[in-house]
């Protein structure tokens, strides 16, 4: 009997790494407390109830308080709860320190104050040589590049980027704000992986010749953690520290498969709720490249596990793209095309991962960036967008990156043939929401994202696909030549973008306005068919809607006064269509 045809959205969806076993009664655990406790009292309380080997405070960053406790024999979670209660704090959860778990953390109490990054200095804008050919193709607009068009995107000045990695040979070539060790006594210098992540995202200013990355004026810090497999503590600890230090964006491209735990849940919740003075710090992770042939199949799965950290909805999960666009395939020894990344429902965006310039080598040789480099490049794009509009909240930033991404053809590029296995090219279609398991919602495009982030008119033009018009409007407004240039402030423009990104009514109204203008512009006489004042009324309704409240709330008082002034001006001059 013949098999029914396989749906276009289907592929061999089984992760390569087996799930970690759930462990009860571990001897090396992290106890998350609800408040800080004095160590002598805690040590005494634990020693009275268990065969205590050691206890050490791992994190005291309100509202997160983590203690690492070693006991000679496993004890029940209730024992830790009793000991911490005797020392003056409730226990939120207990989790193994070296084994992943699919448990999630209970919510923590809201902060009274927000963390700040006063010691992490932002950097001003600079100029430098930035080629767009050769290995620097990923900065350009051709093929699968991110189109870092500096007059539009800027250079990321004023933002802070944290790179978390487990090795950083060649770090001397980086102009780091700081290099910090997390659960390490010395920086690992065996491989250049972490240094490459910093360089592709920001640059290697002290390399010879200097190398400029996606956001060359973002201020980078490197957080070094132990090699994978030793614990599940170091990565979430590094995330919390980076957020507390003031990171706007965080990228971690080390091996994180199987390391989900309540600690990681806490770290992402802290980044979302406390980062950037409560606006939220974006965390970028790669899709990875774990592959195996599941039982009963001769095809490699290349599956991003739904239980891995990169699958969390608060994370921006990035897959690698090729030089020509589309998913990244490499040539094996038989010159057959093979993929270099995992795929799955949680993949959000595509960024360059093909051969790119190796920033630490003066010969200009190329290097496979893979999904690691793609995530670093994506973090650089996020920094560019946040530099253009620092008021964006995390959910608004992610929504803006998704909606401005360039569509990617899900069909395999015939120029890449022969393929080692045609199953590797699946899925071969886009869902109705534009998602594909290989490249998410599309390819990151820095110029589109920054145009949309900067101005509500540019946002509407980008959303309807009028990219050239959005660029032209941006240039006119930057020169003060656009009709809107004196009309509204930069602060109001940024707030309106936030509202348009999140509010369906306002979003539709703004796009209807620019569609109306597009239909009138080539045929001026069409204006005569519409009632006088119709356009003014539509603009006024959009502005009044902002005052009445949107999905992000009402504008602050200062911007409300500005909107009222615009409404008054429109009421006195209703013939703005002319």
Using CA atoms, how far apart are residues 221 and 234, in angstroms rounded to an integer?
Answer: 16
User: 147 near 445, Cβ under 8 Å?
Assistant: yes
Determine the Cα angle at 159 with ends 157 and 164, to 5°: 125
pTM above 0.75, yes or no: yes
How confident is the model at residue 374, as a pLDDT? Answer: 96
Using CA atoms, how far apart are residues 375 and 369, in angstroms rounded to an integer?
Answer: 9
Using CA atoms, how far apart are residues 162 and 199, in angstroms rounded to an integer?
Answer: 12
| C-alpha to C-alpha distances, 16 to 110, 293, 298, 311, nearest whole angstrom | 38, 8, 13, 15
SS3 content of the chain, % helix, strand, coil (to 5): 35, 15, 50
Nearest-CA neighbor of 462 among 442, 481, 479? 442
How confident is the model at residue 118, as a pLDDT? Answer: 62
How confident is the model at residue 578, as a pLDDT? Answer: 40
Q: What is the per-residue burial (b if ≥16 Cβ within 10 Å, else e) of 423-459?
A: bbbbbbebeeebbbbbbbbbbbbbbbbbbbbbbbbbb
Q: Give, for 56, the enclosing helix (H) or strand (E).
A: strand 52-61
Q: Give, for 499, the enclosing helix (H) or strand (E).
A: helix 490-502
77: helix, strand or coil: helix
How confident is the model at residue 312, as a pLDDT? Answer: 95
Using CA atoms, how far apart are residues 516 and 534, in angstroms rounded to an integer?
Answer: 11
Residues 6+ apart with CB under 8 A from 234: 182, 183, 225, 226
285: helix, strand or coil: strand
127: helix, strand or coil: coil
User: 417 near 331, Cβ under 8 Å?
Assistant: no
Nearest-CA neighbor of 248 among 189, 188, 202, 295? 202
How confident is the model at residue 18, as a pLDDT? Answer: 65
Using CA atoms, how far apart are residues 139 and 156, in angstroms rounded to an integer?
Answer: 14
User: 32 near 262, Cβ under 8 Å?
Assistant: yes
Determine the Cα angle at 74 with ends 70 and 80, to 5°: 70
**Per-residue pLDDT tens digits of the chain, which is 578 residues long:** 566 788 989 988 888 766 666 666 678 999 999 999 999 999 999 999 999 899 999 999 999 999 999 999 988 889 999 999 999 999 999 999 988 888 999 998 876 556 555 689 999 999 999 999 999 999 999 989 999 999 999 999 999 999 999 999 999 999 999 999 999 999 999 999 999 999 999 999 999 999 999 999 999 999 999 998 778 999 999 999 999 999 999 999 988 888 889 999 999 999 999 999 999 999 999 998 887 777 777 788 889 999 999 999 999 999 999 998 999 998 989 999 999 899 999 999 999 999 999 999 888 789 889 999 999 999 999 999 999 999 999 999 999 999 999 999 999 888 989 999 898 999 999 999 999 999 999 999 999 999 999 999 999 999 999 999 999 999 998 888 766 556 899 999 999 999 999 999 999 999 999 999 999 988 888 888 888 888 989 999 999 999 999 999 999 999 999 999 999 988 887 655 44
Sign of the CA dihedral with 379 first, then 383, 389, and 392 last: positive
Using CA atoms, how far apart are residues 157 and 560, in angstroms rounded to an integer?
Answer: 29
Nearest-CA neighbor of 538 among 520, 559, 517, 560? 517
């Amino acid at each position: 009997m013949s098999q029914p045809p396989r749906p276009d959205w289907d592929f061999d969806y089984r992760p390569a790494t087996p799930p970690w076993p759930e462990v009860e009664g571990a001897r090396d655990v992290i106890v998350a407390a609800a408040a800080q406790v004095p160590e002598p009292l805690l040590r005494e309380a634990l020693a009275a109830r268990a065969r205590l080997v050691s206890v050490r405070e791992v994190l005291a960053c309100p509202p997160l308080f983590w203690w690492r406790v070693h006991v000679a024999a496993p004890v029940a979670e209730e024992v830790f709860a009793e000991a911490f209660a005797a020392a003056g704090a409730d226990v939120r959860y207990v989790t193994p320190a070296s084994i992943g778990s699919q448990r999630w953390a209970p919510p923590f109490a809201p902060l009274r104050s927000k963390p700040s990054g006063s010691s992490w200095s932002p950097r001003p804008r600079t100029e430098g040589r930035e080629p767009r050919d050769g290995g620097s193709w990923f900065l350009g607009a051709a093929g699968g590049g991110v189109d870092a068009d500096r007059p539009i995107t800027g250079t990321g000045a004023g933002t802070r980027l944290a790179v978390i990695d487990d090795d950083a040979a060649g770090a001397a070539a980086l102009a780091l704000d700081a290099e910090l060790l997390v659960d390490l006594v010395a920086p690992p210098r065996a491989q250049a992986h972490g240094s490459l992540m910093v360089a592709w995202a920001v640059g290697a200013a002290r390399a010879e010749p200097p190398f400029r990355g996606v956001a060359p004026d973002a201020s980078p810090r490197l957080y070094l953690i132990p090699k994978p497999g030793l614990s599940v503590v170091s990565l979430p600890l590094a995330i919390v520290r980076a957020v507390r230090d003031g990171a706007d964006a965080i990228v971690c491209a080390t091996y994180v498969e199987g390391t989900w735990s309540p600690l990681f849940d806490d770290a992402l919740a802290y980044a979302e709720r406390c980062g950037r003075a409560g606006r939220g710090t974006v965390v970028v992770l790669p899709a990875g490249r774990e592959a195996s042939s599941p039982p009963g199949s001769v095809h490699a799965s290349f599956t991003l596990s739904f239980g891995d950290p990169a699958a969390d909805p608060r994370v921006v999960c990035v897959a690698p793209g090729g030089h020509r666009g589309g998913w990244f395939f490499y040539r094996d020894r038989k010159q057959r095309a093979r993929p270099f990344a995992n795929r799955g429902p949680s993949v959000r965006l595509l960024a360059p991962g093909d051969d790119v310039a190796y920033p630490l080598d003066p010969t200009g040789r190329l290097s496979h960036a893979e999904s690691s480099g793609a995530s670093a490049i994506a973090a650089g794009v996020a920094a560019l967008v946040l530099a253009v509009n620092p008021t964006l909240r995390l959910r608004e930033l992610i929504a803006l990156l998704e909606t401005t991404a360039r569509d990617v053809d899900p069909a395999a590029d015939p120029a890449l043939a022969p393929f080692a296995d045609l199953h590797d090219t699946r899925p071969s279609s886009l869902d109705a929401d534009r998602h594909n398991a290989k490249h998410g919602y599309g390819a990151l495009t820095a110029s589109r994202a920054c145009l949309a982030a900067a101005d509500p008119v540019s946002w509407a033009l980008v959303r309807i696909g009028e990219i050239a018009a959005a660029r032209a409007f941006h240039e006119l407004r930057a020169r003060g030549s656009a009709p809107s240039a004196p009309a509204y402030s930069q602060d109001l423009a940024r707030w309106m973008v936030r509202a348009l990104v999140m509010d369906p009514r306002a979003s539709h109204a703004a796009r209807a306005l620019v569609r109306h203008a597009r239909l009138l512009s080539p045929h001026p006489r069409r204006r005569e068919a519409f009632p006088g004042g119709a356009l003014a009324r539509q603009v006024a309704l959009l502005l009044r809607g902002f005052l009445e409240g949107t999905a992000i709330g009402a504008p602050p008082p200062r911007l409300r006064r500005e909107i009222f002034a615009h409404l008054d001006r429109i009421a006195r001059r209703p013939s703005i269509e002319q």
